[in-house]
Structure 1
């Protein structure tokens, strides 16, 4: 209780310093995931800003997609999340695109002038961050509509955003690396991928042995051992290729489809 009181006291002191009208996260907000999303925004922005305008026409690590498509995807994901949360917060109806419309918007945005494409990313991420900061404790416990007509928990949106930012920052193929990811993000990505395989009934028989973690990760029967740094294991599990991995089988096994399918059918293009 004392720690909670100290934390609330620090929060109140911050509010006083920021003054009237300042925005800050509600106490019930998922602080860890918001931190990952905001760090991911800064990381993606850095890799994007390092690219000259003409370099945006170059290929990304997503087959068939230029870097322009990746920037458009990340920009629009923030916009769609922000609009869904704004609709919840204000109660006013907002037109949200279905999956086909999302794909069309990404393709169209990829043709924008470089400055407009960069502005899409900048403005959309600011809008989303404002919406997160304006959510009350009770609204963090609500849900918003996803593109399939179902719903997704509002408190899940920061992680959904974070994973897209980190994974697609590397997809820009501009020196980004899974080794740059926060350790917690790497662990959460593994849990995400394994959870997807479990839901699909396609869990491979692997014994993942991170050289920089104390415990292995056993999947299925754990038939094939794969060793490497956690960052390199996650890169492989996410379908982005194998680097610096050692394995007990003659060849690395083929992995089942994961949640981070690339291209226009990626689930990362949606609110969920």
Structure 2
């Protein structure tokens, strides 16, 4: 018989699950505020309508559920068969009727939540592989989903802002993204400082690096490539403005 509550007992994991589900509920609220006609509107992502964002978030839940199933059964079930298949899936999803698109989001979110709920403690450390080829424990799927729903709620361009995202999620995003830059060597000559905190990330070896400073929500908005309001650089870009952040995915 399926569990009626999460089988996971680790307090940190329980908190992460709560944060992911809160993000899902927040995305759902911003989606439900939109009329069917408004689903055709633009987003904060180039070339994607709201339809694309909703389809992506829905299919992402299904893909992550496959990873959780992998951890549960030991049978390899990749997120996607290929990068091209993932792109085609999103493009197809964007053509669905409004009710079908909304149902895709709702049903896939419930499915993923149930897969998490029924995963025993011992299986959360089982290794799975992400679409980027990283081998990680199943517990990583919770963070993978959390960042998707919180960021893409903002991408719907329906009033959500990075100020609405919990500080713990913002800080983890900042650490993840700047860590990816460091791994790729794209943070050379660049530092990030969060005002009012001791958080400093980036290149600490270059003399006179460009330092991007701002409140945590504004800094995370900039590092994710969603905007530059609220941040300021010590060294402007060539056109005198705020430099673009390096790519992180």
Superposed pair shares fold, TM > 0.5: yes
Which structure 2 segments of 5+ residues have no match?
none
Tell me which residue corresponds to 2:225: 239
- Cα-Cα RMSD: 2.1
- Does 2:20 correspond to 1:37? yes
Query: C-alpha distance in 1, partners of 2:86/2:158?
Result: 25
- Aligned twin of 2:202: 219
Instruction: Give the unaligned 5+ runs of structure 1.
Output: 1-19, 260-272
- 1:122-170 deviation line (CA, Å, top 9, x unaligned): 0001010101011111100102243366633201001000011111111
Instruction: Tell me, in whole angstroms, the C-alpha distance in 1 between the residues paired with 2:135 and 2:43.
Output: 31
- Number of the residue aligned with 2:160: 176
Deviation, 1:70, is: 0.3
| CA distance in 2: counterparts of 1:197 and 1:94, whole angstroms | 29
Does residue 242 of structure 2 align to residue 252 of structure 1?
A: yes
- Cα offset for 1:87? 3.7
1:173-225: per-residue Cα shift (whole Å, max 9, x none)? Answer: 101100001000010010010111111111143343323x3214142136223
Q: TM-score, normalised by structure 1?
A: 0.81
1:175-194 equivalent positions in 2, closer than 5 A:
175-194=159-178
Partner of residue 228, structure 1: 214
Q: How does 1:142-161 map to 2 (within 5 A)?
A: 142-147=126-131, 151-161=135-145
Relative to the length of structure 2, the TM-score reads 0.88
Which residue does the alignment assign to 1:24? Answer: 6
After TM superposition, the runs of 4+ consecutive aligned structure 1 residues lying more than 4 A away are: 91-96
Hey, what's the Cα distance between the residues in 2 that align with 1:86 and 1:188?
A: 26
Query: Which of 202, 205, 225 is the aligned partner of 2:186?
Result: 202
Q: Quick one: distance in 2 between partners of 1:21 and 1:139?
A: 15
The CA distance in 2 between the partners of 1:200 and 1:21, in whole Å, is 42
The alpha carbon displacement at 1:257 in A equals: 1.5
CA displacement 1:48-102 (0-9 Å, x = unmatched): 0000001001111111111000000000010111123224324567575322111
Task: Map 1:12-91 to 2 at 5 A.
Answer: 21-28=3-10, 30-91=13-74
